[in-house]
Amino acid sequence: MSNDNDLINAIKSHNPFDRPLVVRSQNIWVTGFPDVPSLNAHASDAVFDAIERVRTKQQTVIGITIKAERGLGKSHLISRIRRRLQNDGSALFVYTSEINDLNRIKAEFLRNLANSLKQIGSQGMSQWRELATAIFNEAHNKAFTPDEMVSHFFEVLKVDSKVVEHWTDTVLGIKHDVENPDIIAAILWTLSSNPSEERYAINWLAGQELPQSRADALGLANSSAQDREAQAFSTVRQILDLISDYKPIVICFDELESILMCNDAGFTASQVTAILAKDLYDKIKRGVFVTAMFPQTWTDQIRALKEAESVTDRIAQKSIELTYLKSEDVIALVSQWLKDFYDQKGLTPPHSVYPFDEGKLRELGKEKPMVRKVLQWCAENWNIPLIPPPLKHPVESAYKNEIAALESKIQDDIEDNNKLANALRFSFSTLVGQVVENVKIIEIVDVKTRSADQGYINFKIVGEDNGNVVKIGVSVLEGVSGMFLQAGLKRLIEYKKFDLTRGCLVRSKNISSGTKAKQYLDQLMSKSLSGEWVSLKNEAIKPLLAINYVMKTRNDYELTEAQIIDFVIHNRIVIDNNLIRRILSDPSGKIPEDAIDEDI
């Protein structure tokens, strides 16, 4: 046992339970919270058994639905599954929780698929590189590891600039069911040691339009936005089939209830996702689907679908309910968290739940609590400090959690126009009634458009400037180029059509001279239109993305909208943000000097 003073000092210096206790999407991919294998072992064992049955070809596809109330550990369970697969390499893992546009669910799933495969797999490199290596090895009868394959790619590319084209032809000689050869080429490009080539290849696989110079350099065909949406499901199916040639694929759908919207047909996120899972189930060669939801969601939404039997027969071949904790579970949970804490400090406590009283924890277990409630109790009862700690705003931990998560995924979020636009729109909504840069903000509204014009002007800021009405149309055109960029700028200068007094482009990347998009930009920046181009900076958009994530998942964090807005106002997160102020300020009429050239 360690010295009493060392233990007391450690306990006083840090409360390991004083942290956001919500498992968010980013936590799935990192070590995250301590895992207690005995908790809900019946559920994870069922999933691992299903993976083994598919891996050994006893069954081709298995659908599992996990039902549990909020806080019972659905996401903890999914994180456990992900860690096991990363350790044993028995399957590749795909996680879907963030859906920005329910009307484009197939394209949204393709984006989630591409982003999931960017994560580190069982061989220390991305799952994309694991797949690319397996494809190459089969076609060339080799046994490279992903690490060796990246080195091999680098050496061959130095002497043969068309190496990917040649390798693709060889792969197509054995993969007769691949409909789009560019999919093979793009997967092979993920082996590049050049980060930009790897990133653009993955962006293409995610369904994004590439700058034409980049598409030409990689030998990949750009499709129109309409064609990409139509092709999304086919691309998903072909990628999943390629994976299935080597390993099962485990696809997890989670946090569906946090998406508080419906598609144009009136279907909720849970319903849209369940139908997608059913369609995927029917099309892929082999895999395991894990869908997590509340019991009420299952009853009120999934069972209410017209095609309910068809959906449930597939996604819920096995239906598993998570259980509330018992006294022994509470002891196991707290012991594991404390073991991690004391191991990091190099200390040995007198007993496994020190400084808590085991009897009190067992009494707590008799109430059949949720995991989150036990951890909250531990946070509140962590020793008795001599000096009361300063009161923390209830939103602070959640906000810091999301800021930290953005450190690793900011580049992905910066390329997602919907996320950026949603974050800006929410931020401006917190300023209604306030005066910023001489503009009194009255309301934030949608721009009324026909279907052909939708998606280009994200929202409109209505306000007053020295007694004059201002209507600023905001277009976030960051992760786009080519025809979509041109179409967005064309709408942004049509003030009369969309009832604007000013257009504002938000973008970090340059716009090439000699293009139609540049002509529209010049009109926007002219004296007659007095539009503005505001440069998008990571450090400015990061806090806005973070607080918008907190707002979207406020139910998981057990926060209210009023608490979040109070935190935003109290900490001046929005009102002092440079990006927000630049959008509202008088237009400079100048092109940002720090605009990034995509082709460099």
pLDDT at residue 599 tops 50? no
Enumerate residues 6+ apart whose C-beta is below 8 A from 541.
414, 420, 423, 579
- pLDDT at position 385 is 45
Q: Exposed/middle/buried for 306, CB within 10 Å: 0-12, 13-18, 19+?
A: exposed
- pLDDT at position 411 is 85
Q: Taking the CA of residue 105 as centre, how many other CA atoms within 13 Å lie in the half-sphere pointing to its CB?
A: 25
- pLDDT at position 175 is 92
pLDDT at residue 224 tops 90? no
Q: Give the whole-angstrom CA distance, residue 136 versus residue 141.
A: 8
Residue range 353-368: mean pLDDT, rounded: 91
Under 8 Å between Cβ of 104 and 166: no
pLDDT at residue 598 tops 60? no
- pLDDT at position 479 is 81
Residue range 118-128: mean pLDDT, rounded: 94
Percentage of residues in the chain having pLDDT higher than 70: 96
Give residue 1's pLDDT band: very low, low, confident or very high (50, 70, 90).
low
274-328: per-residue pLDDT in tens? Answer: 999 999 999 999 999 999 999 999 999 999 999 899 999 999 999 999 988 999 9
Lowest mean pLDDT among 28-32, 298-302, 500-504: 28-32
Closest CA to 473 of 487, 451, 453, 494: 494
Reading the block at residue 304, the tokens are: 């209410």
- pLDDT at position 25 is 67
Q: Give the whole-angstrom CA distance, residue 254 versus residue 70.
A: 12
Rg for the chain, CA atoms, rounded: 26
- pLDDT at position 259 is 73
Enumerate residues 6+ apart whose C-beta is below 8 A from 447.
457, 459, 460, 473, 498, 499, 500
- pLDDT at position 386 is 44
- pLDDT at position 585 is 92
Under 8 Å between Cβ of 294 and 68: yes
Output the average pLDDT for the chain.
Answer: 90
Q: Give the whole-angstrom CA distance, residue 109 versus residue 256.
A: 13
204-223: per-residue pLDDT in tens? Answer: 999 998 999 999 999 999 88
387-425: per-residue pLDDT in tens? Answer: 455 678 999 999 999 999 898 888 888 888 889 999 999
- pLDDT at position 597 is 58
239-278: per-residue pLDDT in tens? Answer: 999 999 999 999 999 987 777 788 999 999 999 999 999 9
The CATH code for residues 400-584 is 3.40.1350
pLDDT at residue 52 tops 90? yes
Lowest mean pLDDT among 20-29, 71-80, 93-102: 20-29
Residue range 423-451: mean pLDDT, rounded: 93
Give residue 200's pLDDT band: very low, low, confident or very high (50, 70, 90).
very high
Q: Where are the domains of the chain?
A: 4-22+325-380, 103-246, 400-584
- pLDDT at position 571 is 94
Q: Tell me which of 8 and 519 has the higher pLDDT.
A: 519
Residue range 369-391: mean pLDDT, rounded: 76
Q: Give the whole-angstrom CA distance, residue 325 versus residue 371.
A: 7
